[in-house]
Homo-oligomer: A and B are copies of this chain.
Amino acid sequence: MSVRTPDPDPDWTPEDAARPASNPGWLSDIELAEVRGRLPLLYVEAVPVRLDGLGVVTEVGALLRAKPTGEINRTLVSGRVLFGETLRDALFRHLEKDLGPMAFPQLPPSPVPFSVAEYFPMPGISPFTDDRQHAVSLAYIVPVTGTCEPRQDALEVTWMTPEEACQPALIAEMEGGRGTLVKQALASVGRLP
């Protein structure tokens, strides 16, 4: 049976409540905590963007998030891939969870990510860290055409020009080294300032 801790699983969504606790396909928080020290976990991640009529990236979106500690930081759309779930289903689920049901994200035709971010609990192995776990995240650029209404613990979605998104202060605010992921995303679309 699933036991929720005060620091909620950031992957938990209201839909989770409907899942039978005994479903062998998902882990309880306690089981997840154990597994987190044993296996790399698979994540998907999205850099939301706005495009102009010719497909040029004009803006990048970041989530402003309040952590349980009260600390504020910025992050991208990201979350775990569940057992039996396709990458596209996971990407869509996390986009809807983080940007709301009216964001109308356009998932890319190709399942090949623009970058693979390796998050380690200890710094120095890669540009990315996650003190909870070793996670490997497939990162996609996802054009968003609708209106974003962040749910859960996200305070707002901030849209920035490529130049604004790459300012050192903002890069430093991005959780777990995701500023590097934003720069990689912009480079892959020819928009790195």
Chain A contact residues, CB within 8 Å of chain B: 24-27, 31, 35, 37-42, 49, 51, 53-57, 81-89, 92, 106-116, 118, 120, 125-127, 134, 136, 138, 141, 143, 180, 183-184, 187-190, 192
The residue on B at minimum CB distance from A26 is: B38
The answer to whether B114 and A190 touch across the interface, beta carbons within 8 angstroms, is no
Of B24, B54, B88, the residue contacting A55 (CB under 8 A) is B88
A184: chain B residues within 8 A (beta carbon): 187-188, 190, 192
Of B35, B53, B84, B114, the residue contacting A112 (CB under 8 A) is B114
The answer to whether B92 and A190 touch across the interface, beta carbons within 8 angstroms, is no
**Given A25-B38, A40-B83, A134-B83, A92 contacting B183 (CB threshold 8 A):** no
What are 13 inter-chain pairs, A to B, with CB distance below 8 A? Answer: A26-B38, A31-B38, A39-B42, A53-B92, A54-B92, A55-B108, A112-B115, A112-B116, A116-B190, A180-B192, A184-B192, A187-B188, A187-B192
**Given A39-B35, A54-B92, A87 contacting B141 (CB threshold 8 A):** no
